Amino acid sequence: MNNSATPGRLIVLSGPSGSGKSTVIARALAPGDLPIRRSVSVTTRPPRPGEQDGVDYYFWTPEQFAQAVQRGEFLEWAEIHGQRYGTLKREVERHLRDGYSVLLEIDVQGARLIRQLFPDVVTIFLRAPDLADYEHRLRQRGTEDEASLQRRLAAVRQELAEADHYHYQLVNRDLDETVAALRALLRRILNPPAPKQ
Ligand code: 5GP
């Protein structure tokens, strides 16, 4: 993955549950005009209504996950809200080989590991404008039972405390504006302005 012939960058985007990151990323990449692919992670959590295996996540059993850990198939993995989530090496390598940059939508623990492994990684943190927004959005989404919702809310403050370690922070006030801001940021990351002579 350190092959200098591959121009792709690694980009991490994190944000607490309810920050809107999945929607923002899906919308930002949907036009297909940016040479970036989202890495599909593996998770042991059950699919939410509408989520598709191989699109939103690879939904694996805890046994399958443990075997892949043993075989060293993950670039990083973490336990989050009582479930396991991981980035497959082969997923990232495939996109880089195809000439794309890769966007990892991973939590703050994963971001920390990736930063150590790849000092060139660019990191983005997405947050909601206000603490109360996370609960509001999670309840509106209606995908979590009460216990899962409470676990996710309890983690929000901890995750926010990591935001300063990221290169960029985006505040998701308005979906269209945030998608536009992320697209502009991604373009700048891929095509940095030439240094002044
Ligand atoms: P959710 O269950 O809401 O889809 O995701 C829960 C958390 O897991 C989110 O913060 C998401 O970014 C994170 N996550 C998803 N995939 C991965 C992964 O492969 N590695 C790590 N470290 N976190 C992940």
Q: What pLDDT tens digit does each residue of the chain (197 aa) get?
A: 544 444 799 999 999 998 999 999 999 999 999 999 999 999 999 999 999 999 999 999 999 999 999 999 999 999 998 999 999 999 999 999 999 999 999 999 999 999 999 999 999 999 999 989 999 998 998 888 999 899 999 899 999 999 999 999 999 999 999 999 999 999 999 998 888 87
Give 17: exposed, middle or buried? Use CB within 10 Å, 0-12, 13-18, 19+: buried
Answer whether 110 contacts ligand 1 (Cβ < 6 A).
yes
For ligand 1, pick from 22, 56, 57, 106 the residue to mutate: most ligand atoms within 8 Å of CB: 106
CB atoms within 10 A of CB 110: 23
Answer whether 85 contacts ligand 1 (Cβ < 6 A).
yes
**CA 39 to ligand 1: nearest atom:** 19
Query: Comparing C-alpha atoms, which of 92, 43, 45 is closest to residue 68?
Result: 43
For ligand 1, pick from 21, 80, 83 the residue to mutate: most ligand atoms within 8 Å of CB: 80
For ligand 1, pick from 19, 84, 105, 109 the residue to mutate: most ligand atoms within 8 Å of CB: 105
- How many Cα atoms are found within 13 Å in the side-chain-facing hemisphere of 64? 11
**Helices (H), strands (E): how many in the chain?**
7, 9
For residue 197, what pLDDT is reported?
Answer: 73
Q: How many angstroms separate the alpha carbon of residue 36 from the centre of ligand 1?
A: 19
Q: Rounded to an integer, what distance in angstroms lies between the CA atom of residue 176 and that of residue 195? A: 31
The angle, 0 to 180 degrees and rounded to 10, between the axes of the packed helices 131-141 and 146-160 is 150
- CA distances 91 to 56, 79, 185, Å, are 13, 20, 24
- How many Cα atoms are found within 13 Å in the side-chain-facing hemisphere of 57? 22
Answer whether 19 contacts ligand 1 (Cβ < 6 A).
no
For residue 28, what pLDDT is reported?
Answer: 98
Q: Which tokens in the block code for residue 55?
A: 């699109």
**Helix %, strand %, coil % for the chain, to 5?**
40, 20, 35
Query: Tokens 């046994």 belong to which residue?
Result: 63
